[in-house]
Structures are given as C-alpha cells and as structure tokens.
Structure 1
Amino acid sequence: MQSVVSVIDDDRDMRDALLELLRSSGIPATGFPGVESFLVSAEFETTTCVISDIRMEGMSGFDLIETLGVRQKKIPVILISSYDTLAARRTAAQLNAFSLLTKPFDPQDILNQLWLALRANKSSGDS
C-alpha cells in the first residue's frame, strides 16, 4: 500500500505549504481544516501518517491521538504547534505522539520526522 499523509491544520497557509512540501517530495498528501473532517473522510482508512496542529477549533491534535487509540487505529502522528510548552511536550509524550515540532520549523526537519514515522509504521505493520 502506498503511503498517504494527511495534514490537519486550521491555518490554510500552513496546511497548503505543508502539502506543497510533501507533494514536491513525491509524498501523496491530503489536507484537512480540522480533525473532525479527517475522521469522516475516505482518506482516514488509507492514511499512514498524520501531521497535525495541536491547537485548532473543535478537536485538538491531542484529541486526534486519543480518538485514534479508541478506534484502535495505529497511525503515527507528528504534532506541530506555535506554542512549545512543557505541558504540551508532556501531553504529547504521554499520548505517544511520534514527535512534536515547533512552528516555524525547518522543512527538512518535518521531512526527516515523516520518513522516520513512515518507516516505523511500516515495520510495525498497518492496522
């Protein structure tokens, strides 16, 4: 199965920039303005990694990870945030987020984390 990355961010400019970065790197990617729209999409079943903002209207990136756990869907989640706090890092670690990157981040950093997440997901088997 081909890797598909879903990008969830309510900031359209950030979402579009991430999608352009991924697609220009040959990575199929789809964007969503919120967690809720991702969870009801057809892409939910084919997504192999998620890049999600933490703070959004409605469900947060943390809520996404909890929901994936409840649904027993093992998808690595790379969290991104403009707010790098100790509390956010602790929560991300407790929820087993794959990583947490602070905006603005180097595009190569997100690509490196993504390749690591996709490799880890592939070796652990898809659910």
Structure 2
Amino acid sequence: MPAFLPIAVVDDDASARVAMVDLIMAMGFTAIGFPSAGAFLGSDQFIHVCCLIADMRMAGMSGLELCRRIAASGRTLPTILITAYPDHATRMLAQEIGVRFYLTKPCNPDELLQALRSLLAD
C-alpha cells in the first residue's frame, strides 16, 4: 500500500533521519527528510505530506512542540513520534494533542510498518 504523497521525517540527527527515510522507502512508501521542525514548517512540502514521523528530542523545537504547532494551525496531520527516552507522561501529552503512535528508537520495522499502514488507512 504505497503512499503517493510523501511521509515527512523530522529528526535533527542526520544519520537517524537518513536511516528512517531509507527504511520507509524500502517499505514501498515515499519519504522526505527534514533536519529540524522549523525546516519542516517552513517548507513548501508541509502541505503536501500525508503523515509525519518526528523525533521527540531535537535542538530548537521538540517533536511534541512541532505537533502542538501543527494542531494550532488547524491542520490535521497523522503523526508518529519517536524517542530514545520513552515515558508515560510524554506519551499522554502526545495523545492529548492527537499523536496516534509513540514509538521507541530504534524503531522496530514491523511496528513502524503497522503504524504507517494504520495512519494511511484512515
């Protein structure tokens, strides 16, 4: 079930971002990487992506703050937050603002694929 619109990957760690984009593309989807939340929000691609995968901890704007900004803009963008430091309180905050999946880094490819299929099926 390929996505015809790209999946945005926002991560300030270049190697993690490239690896995630490569993994998503290997799954048959289209993906585009962004080095920061600000770069994504300021990009022409912001309105053309079908969903978002964002790292929680980034320099500048966090993944959670990025999700808040998107929600405040009125845009509904299916989102997966990823983190190397999962905690229940952050998961709850993310869910309150509409984040559907909160995955641990490094992501299990099967879990990521299941999350993407779920987001894109809605």
> Do both proteins adopt the same fold according to a TM-score greater than 0.5, normalized to the shorter chain?
yes
Q: Which runs of 5+ in 2 are unaligned?
A: none
- Give every structure 1 segment of 4 or more consecutive aligned residues whose post-TM-superposition deviation is greater than 4 Å: none
Task: Report the TM-score, using the length of structure 1 for normalisation.
Answer: 0.89
1:107 and 1:69 map into 2 onto residues whose CA distance is 27
Q: Which runs of 5+ in 1 are unaligned?
A: 121-127
1:1-127 counterparts in 2 under 5 A?
Answer: 2-120=4-122
2:45 and 2:117 map into 1 onto residues whose CA distance is 19
* Post-superposition offset of 1:112: 1.1
CA RMSD of aligned residues (A): 1.3
State the identity %. Answer: 35
SS of the equivalent of 2:43 reads coil
1:70 and 1:91 map into 2 onto residues whose CA distance is 15
**Residue 87 of structure 1 aligns to which amino acid in structure 2?**
A
1:48 and 1:92 map into 2 onto residues whose CA distance is 19
CA contact (8 A) 2:71 2:97 kept: no
**Residue 58 of structure 1 aligns to which amino acid in structure 2?**
G
Count of aligned pairs: 120
**Residue 71 of structure 1 aligns to which amino acid in structure 2?**
S
**Residue 74 of structure 1 aligns to which amino acid in structure 2?**
T
